[in-house]
Amino acid sequence: MIVMKFGGASLSNSQGIIKACRIIKNYSGKNKVILVVSAMKGITDKLYQVVELLKRKQLKKALAIYKEIKSSHFQALSVIKSSAERVKLESELINITSRLENFVKNVVHKEITPARCDFIVSFGERLSCPIIATALESTGLLAYPIDASLIIATNHAFGNAVPLYKKSQSHITKIIFPLINNGVIPVITGFIGFAKDGCTTTLGRGGSDLTASYLANLLNAKALYLWKDVDGFYTNDPHKDKNAKLMQHLSYKQAEKMAKDGAKIIYYKAIRPVEKKLIPIYVKSFINPSLQGTTVSKII
């Protein structure tokens, strides 16, 4: 069993979604795959803009951005070949976007608390998840979208919530295992969790890496694949330094340090959960999937 996570940069448009599905199909031949998805490129930033505008009571501007978000997702419908599937997905997207629209319109008169902020910014993943699941089904695989606000229990630290292992384990056993055992790929929203009172929480920017790593731990996965828009970790920023070299192997500690020091390749909090069970992380290039990338593991 392997956990794979695709980031927003990979899911920037229909082509990206098609490519991600091809990669998943390749790997699913030999492995049971659990998929974690981020929001589509730029969407979470836009949702944070909506939050800022609502704080300033600028509803018109907030709704204009909401409309941009909505239309990017409806454009992605073109990846679905079957018209019946497309209609089904369309109505699902209408439900999700209407829920967001109604919330935005109602909350403008209220205080934008951290809990309300998390609820709004969670919609990027809530929207990308059913699109990817349906796109996977279009390729002939079985896939099922899962909102992580049903399975990832966290504390109440909105915006930076910490997943709670014991509480999440039972949800995962009930929801994820039956799917995997029936040959279905669970497609899970990254970044999102839920607190004790049912409120949606988020795990921090870049938090989908943490969702994936945390699930890899709970499911005792064989490996964690993080698909990125870079080839892996470099000795230096390759955009600034022509002599920067790709690092093929890193220890968990080295990767965590580099991530903390600003290498934005992995969310630093994503290292510990897999390190605890010595699960290797393969940082792979979404652009050139055949490249080796960087392996993060105990042995270097």
Contact footprint for ligand ASP (CB under 6 A): 7-8, 38-39, 44, 124, 190-191, 205-209
CA-closest candidate to residue 117, choices 71, 180, 54: 54
> Would you give the DSSP letter of residue 259?
H
In angstroms, what is the minimal distance from the CB of 209 to ligand ASP? 6
Q: How far is the CB of 242 from ligand ASP (least distance, A)?
A: 29
Tokens of 206: 């870049």
| Neighbouring C-beta atoms of residue 292, cutoff 10 Å | 15
Question: Taking the complex as a whole, how short is the minimal distance between the CB of residue 7 and ligand ASP, in angstroms?
Answer: 6
Contact indicator for 211, 152 with CB cutoff of 8 Å = yes
Say how far apart CA 107 and CA 275 lie, in whole Å.
Answer: 41
Q: State the residue number with the nearest CB to ligand ASP.
A: 208
Residue 12 or 138 having the CB closest to ligand ASP: 12
Nearer to ligand ASP by Cβ, of 184 and 195: the residue is 195
Least CB distance to ligand ASP at residue 58 (A): 22
Distance from C-alpha of 158 to C-alpha of 122, rounded to nearest angstrom? 11
Between 38 and 285, name the residue whose CB sits nearer to ligand ASP: 38
Residue closer to ligand ASP by CB (options 11, 184) is: 11
Q: Which residues pair with 246 in a beta bridge?
A: 234
3-state secondary structure 197-242: CCCEEECCCCCHHHHHHHHHHHCCCCEEEEEECCCCCECCCCCCCC
- Return d(Cα 185, Cα 254) in angstroms, integer: 32
Smallest separation, CB 206 to ligand ASP (Å): 5
CB of 99 to ligand ASP, least distance (A): 18
CB closer to ligand ASP out of 205 and 249: 205
Considering beta carbons, is residue 118 or 137 the nearer one to ligand ASP?
118
Tokens of 161: 């919530």
